Structure 1
Amino acid sequence: MSGNISINSLPIETFTEILIKIDGNSLARCRRVCKQWKEAIDETDIIWQEMCFREFKNSSKIAKRKSGDTVGWYHIYRNLKLWADISSFEKTIKEFYKFNLHDRSHLLDINYGVIPLKDAKGTFFYDAAFLKYIPVALSDINCLKIWNSDYVTVIQIKSGIFIQRTVIDPSYATEAFYKADNFVLNGDYLYFYNNRDVYKCNLLCRELIPKLLLRCAYDLKEIQFNNEVIHLFTDCGKIINILKDNSIQERIINCPVEWIKHIKNITAVDDKNFICYSRNLFKIETEDYQHLYLDFPPITALFFYIDVVIIGLRNGSILLYRLSSQKKATRPIFETLAELPDGKFPVQLDVYERKAGPMIAAATFFELYLIEVTFFPHEQPVKNTFTSNKLHMYKRLQKLKERLQDS
C-alpha cells in the first residue's frame, strides 16, 4: 500500500488544524485551489473565528455580538479586512423610519441581528439582515437596552432589567426581574450594577439568582466584561477591574485630573480599549493607540470600532477617524463617509455587518437613516429565513411583552 496521503483525504479535523495556523491572505488563496477546498474552508466557521481573533481581536467580537448567528465569522473577517478601503466603495443613504416622537435615543443598541427602535407607542424590532419588521412590539417606551444570546434575552427599563431565557428542563426558572442601572451579557453570565453594587448571575443555573461581587466606593457609569475580567468605569475617572479570582484592581484614566470632571460619555470594550468624550474633551485609548484632544470638533454621535471611530457632527457629516493615521501633536484627520440630507444630523450611530458589507445606522431626532456600503454586491440576501435561535428569541420577546404589560 502506498505511503503517500493526499491532503484531500485528510479528516476535516486535521485539515482545519492546518488551516488555522496560516494567515488570512494565505487562507484566501487556499479557497481558490478548488471547489472542494472552498466549500470546506467557507463552511468551517472556527477557522474564520480564529482569523478574526488574531487580526481583529476586539472589533470582530463587537461585530459578532451585533450579528448573532445571522452572519458567520467568514463574512465578518472579510468585511473587517475591507474597512481599510471603505471610502472607495459605493454607498447608498436612505431614510428607513420616521419617528413620531422627538427624542435623542430612538435607536437602541443593534444586537444579535435585531434593530430595536423606540417611538411614541413603544419599542419596535426589525431584522437587520432583511430590514423586515418583527411582529413583536413592547408597549413600554422607556426601554433603554436590549441584548440577546442564543438562549436568553435581557431588557433594561428605567426600574431595572427583565430576564427571559429559553430552557430545556421545565423545572428551570425562565424569567426574573432585578433592579439595575446597567448590564452586560457575556456567554453564560449576566453582569449588572444597581447604584454601587455589582452582581453576577449564572444563566445556566436552575434559579436566576445574582451574586453580589462588589460594593463600589464610587458612582458607576459603564460596565463591560472581556477576557474573564469585569471592567467598571466610574464618575471620578477611576477604572475598577474585578478579576476571575474576585481580586480588585484600580487605576485612574490616563488624563489630567482637572479634565476628568468634564467627561460626560464613555464607550468601552475593556480597560485598554475605550473612549471618553464630552463637548471639549476627546480621550481615546486602545492597546495600539492613545490620543487626547481638548479642541476636538463637537460630537453629536459616536461609534467605537476599536481601530476606527465613526463620528457624527452637527453639520450632518458622518466621519471616519482612523486611529493609525493620527500623529502626535497634530490635528485629527477625518474621512467623510456620508452627509445626511436636509440639515439633519445624527444623535446616534451604530454598525451592523451584512454579508454584502457594513450598514451604518444613523438616527436623528425624527428619522433613522441607513448608510449601506456594498463590498460584495452578489451577496444580497435572497430570502427571509430565520434560524431556530432567532425564532426562540422572538418567542422570548413575546413573553417579555406580556410580562411588561402585566407589570
Structure 2
Amino acid sequence: MSQYPLAREEAGLVRAEVALVRQEVARRADALWAVASALHADPETAFAEHRAAALLTDELERAGFEVRREVAGLPTAFTARAGRGRPVVAFPLEYDALPGLGHACGHNLIAAAGLGAALVADAVLDASEGTVLAVGTPAEEGGGGKALEVAAGVFDGVDAALMFHPGVYDWVRAPLTAQEQYRVGFRGRAAHPTGSPTEGIDALAALIELFNVVSALGRRLPEGSHVQGIITHGGTATNIVPEYAEGRFGLRALTTAALDDLAAQLRTAAEGVALATGTTVAMDRASVRYEHFRDSEVLSGRFAGHLDRAGITLTPPAPGVYLGSSDIGNVSGRVPAIHPFVAIMGAEGSDHTPQFAEAAASERGRRVLLAVVEALACTAVDVLRDADLRRRAWDDLRRTEG
C-alpha cells in the first residue's frame, strides 16, 4: 500500500476530474511520446538547445498558450502561459543533454512531461481558475538556467512548481544537495629553479599545499559536505618556478547555509596557505550556485497519491543517499516545489550512462511519462482549486527555510 494515499476528502475533490484528465492524457499520448522521442534523437547541450526550445514553444503556441521567448536574457529559455491571474502553477521543463551521452539524464522525458501536464491542466480548467505556466529552463547540467531565471524574477508570483525526474528509484522527493565551484589562483614569482632558486616563489607549491589542507579538512566535515579539486594551471615549463597556479574546487553541502560555511573554510585555508608561502591568492566563484532542494511535503504527497493510481508507488529516499544537485533547489527556496524521482530502469543502473540514455527512449520510459503527466496535471488542478492546499504548501516552505 502507498505511504501517500489520498484522503477521502482529497479524493472527492479530484474524482470528478480524474476521468477527464486521463482522457486528455490518452488523447495526447502519441504526440507527447513523439516530442520526447524527437528530443532524444536530437540532443543539444547547455544553452544551445535551440531546436528543443522551438519544438516545445511551437507545441504550446498551437495550444493557445501565450509564449515569451528568450526570457531572463537566455536564448533558449521561455515561458508559456494560459489562463489568468492567481493562483499560478508552473511546470519547469528541462531539455538540455549531456555532452557525448545525449539524454542520459532523461531530460527529454522531463520536457515532455511538463509540456503534457501543462496542456492537460489547461484543457480541464476554466481560465478563471488561475494560470498554468510552462517554463523552459535550459542548462540544468551545470549552467543553472533555473537559478538565472529565479534571479530574473521568472518564478515571482508562482504558487507551486511541479516537475519530476526519471531515475532508478521511485522516491517521493529528491535528496539534492547545494553545490558551487570556486576558482583559486596563487601568484608567486618566477625564477630559474637552479640558477636563482632563492628568487622564486612557487605558486604551484602553494596550490598543492592547499590540496593537502583540504584533504585534512575533509576528515572533519559534516555529513553531506565535500570538496573536490583539480589543477587547471600549474605552470609553463619545468625550468621556470611557476609564478601562477590555479585550481578549481567543487563544493557540496546538505544545505545552502552549510555550503556558505564550507566556502568560508576554503577561503580561510587558501589565505592561510598564501601567508605561509609568501604568495598572494584570489578566490572567485566559478559557477552558478545550486541551492539545496526544499521539498513541499504536502504537494509531493499529493503527487504520490495520484501516481499510485498508475501502479507506481513512491517511497521516501534511502537515508544517507544523496543524488547530486540541481537548480530546482533555487526555485524550491522561493516557491513550493516538488521533484520526485520515478524509475525508468532498475536500481542496478545509474543516470549519466549510455544505458540510462537508452531507457529514456524505452517502452518503460513511455509508460512512466504518461503516468507522470496524469499525476502532475491532477496535482496542478488540486493546487489551483484548493486554497487550503496552497496554504499548507507555503507553510511547508517556511518550515524548510534556511
More relative contact order in 1 or in 2 (CA 8 Å, sep 6+)? 2
Same fold (TM over 0.5): no
Which structure features the higher share of strand residues? 1
TM (normalized to structure 2)?
0.24
